[in-house]
Structure 1
Amino acid sequence: MNKDKKIYIAGHNGMVGSAVYRALQKKGYTNIIGKSSKELDLKEQAAVREFMATEKPDVVIDAAARVGGILANNDYPYQFLMENMLIQNNLVDAALKNNVDKFIFLGSSCIYPKYAPQPLKEEYLLTDSLEPTNEWYAVAKITGVKATEAIRKQFGKDYVSLMPTNLYGTHDNFDLNTSHVLPAMIRKFHEAKQNGNTPVVLWGSGTPMREFLFVDDMAEGVIFALENVLPDNLYNVGTGEDITIKELAETIQKITGHTGEIIWDSTKPDGTPRKLMDVSKMHGLGWSHKMNLEQGISETYNWFLDNIESVKKVTI
């Protein structure tokens, strides 16, 4: 991949998009473009088509999405379904119509069935029913995977879908109403420590198992897909290692220095019992993660502390 190729990152201000942007700059790419949601509303087809026709990028990396945890998915099912479909459909279609050479679509491990065998292999897609608490987001992302697959099949384009496991890291969302489990825990334990080590109440039983990937490792996975022609359409991107939510909570408690009680609210849902990715396809091609979980959480917490005033501006 020539370092002067024009690369458009959709969602370049988000956690994943900004990590990809930084990683590309570090590797010497000089022609990276991005537009904020105020500058370009990706839900508007005409605006996306005009942008793509004007800018003529060589590569599109779709890191734009409406995202959130169980609560947000449950409360806003229509937005999670429709907004994500609008964003990715507009981008994929405009890229195809403007002869974009390469398209990298970023999805989520929630595309796989709730009770699929573990670890999750790419071929398990659409073999059973989804987890109800996030099926709206999952259905949207599945349509994105199938759109890139259809283009690859019909037009022979180098369009590929990467399915990350649970991502975390710097520039994450720490809003307790809309964030995912790891950043929400960081904020809860930190604020409980500040309030005299008060108890921290967490959802569920703590028994579900989850896999977590540091966002900078995800960015390296995107660049790997950028710089190589991958033989298939769909690839899992993760660590291939998981821990219980209880173990995650205890790790974050230790890193933040909270010494109070952890209370598990079993009236709240657990979600999928286990979600571990089979990452053997990416490993076989030569990519693997570098950051271990404890180090990654420490870096994320340090970023949270450095940016706490801006983080706190988000309404709890």
Structure 2
Amino acid sequence: MDISHGHEGSRYRARASSELISSDDMIYVAGHRGMVGSAVWRRLAAQGFDRLIGATSSELDLRRAEAVEEFFAANKPDVVVLAAAKVGGILANATYPADFLSDNLRIQLNVMDAALRHGVRRLLFLGSSCIYPKHAPQPIPESALLTGPLEQTNDGYAIAKIAGIMQVQAIRRQHNVPWISAMPTNLYGPGDNFDLKFSHVLPAMLRKFHDAKVEARHNVTLWGSGTPRREFLHVDDLAAASVFLLQHYNEAEHINIGSGVDVAISDLAGEVRDAVGYDGHIDWDVTMPDGTPRKLLDVSRLTGMGWKPEISLGDGVAATYRWFLDHPEARRG
């Protein structure tokens, strides 16, 4: 368990009405060893929040209500960032839909119920852009939620995340606490999952091109047609947005987090291939699913508050590949 010790102070301090989060707060980052949680932890620490607490999955199984209750009773956080989740790409979601639904529902319910019982004042629930209908208007506004059928390949995960939004909204109405939800677009960066069977599209591409380069293969096969369009956000930008929202956002409606720019998967492949330095040919396996034709978030509410991302796709992919090279353990699987 990782706990950053600072001055203690009273758990129930008087606050200015406009102050949503303070450097005095004890902040629990659920999922602090994952790609998202670790980025949020780094950002909080960089901005002077030094009372941070986290527990690994081996130390605390968030699917077990009793264990979560004991953790909150012992540590009494003021603020929670709920970044813990069971995540995976198209194949993983399509193969294990019941696991993705059940595990994520349990994690969310256990953390939010315990947080409410133990007086957590501020909570940020991080979901996913897969909550939106498969054929939602583009770019996708927050109001598109529950207006059409979901993409079937990840509907179990999406339903769990929709339930998380609903839970935050219900708790706000019933208990009048400033809890919020944010829905990030496709994320990538240090700490990503590069397993070829279960990773998302960008890290899977990076791994495939790297392996082909090392093995001197002349071609790489990628799934689908390459025509769908996707939006990507570096996880450090997501972390910056998350802290910004904790400091400034207090509305019941969830808010989108993204770059506001999308790219064809075929063009993404070119960016990743260039970053890796692979000069072979790309073959597209059109027998494999493309997923949603396009998924671009409307981020006008967030940018209207004064926040915008800072890391371009090219710079972010190059930095991610450098991290991948520096961490051989990321190449397992």
TM-score > 0.5, shorter chain as reference: yes
| 1:287 shift after superposition | 1.4
1:131 aligned partner = 151
Candidates 13, 31, 41, aligned match of 1:11 = 31
Contact residue 197 and residue 259 of structure 1 kept, 8 A: no
CA distance in 1, matches of 2:54, 2:225: 41
Paired residue type of 1:288:
K
Candidates 82, 97, 121, aligned match of 1:101 = 121
Aligned-residue identity in percent: 53
2:8 aligned partner = none
Candidates 84, 88, 97, aligned match of 2:104 = 84
1:187 aligned partner = 207
2:3 aligned partner = none
Matched, 1:298 2:318: yes
Q: What CA deviation, in whole Å up to 9, does each residue of 1:66-98 have, x standing for no partner? A: 000000001111110000000011111111111
* Larger mean Cα displacement after TM superposition, 138-147 or 283-292: 283-292
Any idea what SS the aligned residue of 2:221 has? strand
Q: What CA deviation, in whole Å up to 9, does each residue of 1:161-194 have, x standing for no partner? A: 1100000001111111111000010010011011
Candidates 125, 128, 133, aligned match of 1:113 = 133
- Any residues of structure 2 matched to 1:163-312 within 5 Å, and which? 163-307=183-327, 309-312=328-331
Contact residue 223 and residue 288 of structure 2 kept, 8 A: yes
CA distance in 1, matches of 2:224, 2:174: 45
CA distance in 1, matches of 2:313, 2:264: 13
| 1:262 shift after superposition | 0.3
Contact residue 194 and residue 207 of structure 2 kept, 8 A: yes
| 1:197 shift after superposition | 3.7
CA distance in 2, matches of 1:204, 1:157: 44
Paired residue type of 2:284:
W
Paired residue type of 2:303:
H
Paired residue type of 1:204:
G
Any idea what SS the aligned residue of 1:158 has? coil
Q: What CA RMSD, in Å, does the superposition of the two structures yield over aligned residues?
A: 0.9
Q: What CA deviation, in whole Å up to 9, does each residue of 1:6-61 have, x standing for no partner? A: 00000000000000111111111110000000111000011111111221100000
Any idea what SS the aligned residue of 1:301 has? helix
1:33 aligned partner = 53
Contact residue 159 and residue 233 of structure 1 kept, 8 A: no
Q: Which runs of 5+ in 2 are unaligned?
A: 1-20
Paired residue type of 2:170:
A
TM-score, length basis structure 1: 0.97
Contact residue 185 and residue 257 of structure 2 kept, 8 A: yes
Contact residue 4 and residue 29 of structure 1 kept, 8 A: yes
Candidates 154, 163, 188, aligned match of 1:143 = 163
Runs of at least 4 residues off by over 2 Å: 229-233
Candidates 175, 181, 187, aligned match of 1:161 = 181
Matched, 1:73 2:93: yes
| 1:232 shift after superposition | 3.8
Any idea what SS the aligned residue of 1:212 has? strand
Q: What CA deviation, in whole Å up to 9, does each residue of 1:104-125 have, x standing for no partner? A: 0000000000001100110110
Q: Which runs of 5+ in 1 are unaligned?
A: none
Paired residue type of 2:329:
S
Q: What CA deviation, in whole Å up to 9, does each residue of 1:212-250 have, x standing for no partner? A: 000000000110111124234300000110000000001
TM-score, length basis structure 2: 0.93
CA distance in 1, matches of 2:61, 2:275: 39
CA distance in 2, matches of 1:286, 1:232: 19
Contact residue 189 and residue 316 of structure 2 kept, 8 A: yes
CA distance in 2, matches of 1:83, 1:282: 30
Paired residue type of 1:256:
V
Any idea what SS the aligned residue of 2:183 has? strand
| 1:257 shift after superposition | 0.9
Paired residue type of 1:129:
P
CA distance in 1, matches of 2:312, 2:246: 24
Paired residue type of 2:268:
L
CA distance in 2, matches of 1:150, 1:2: 25
Contact residue 172 and residue 252 of structure 2 kept, 8 A: no
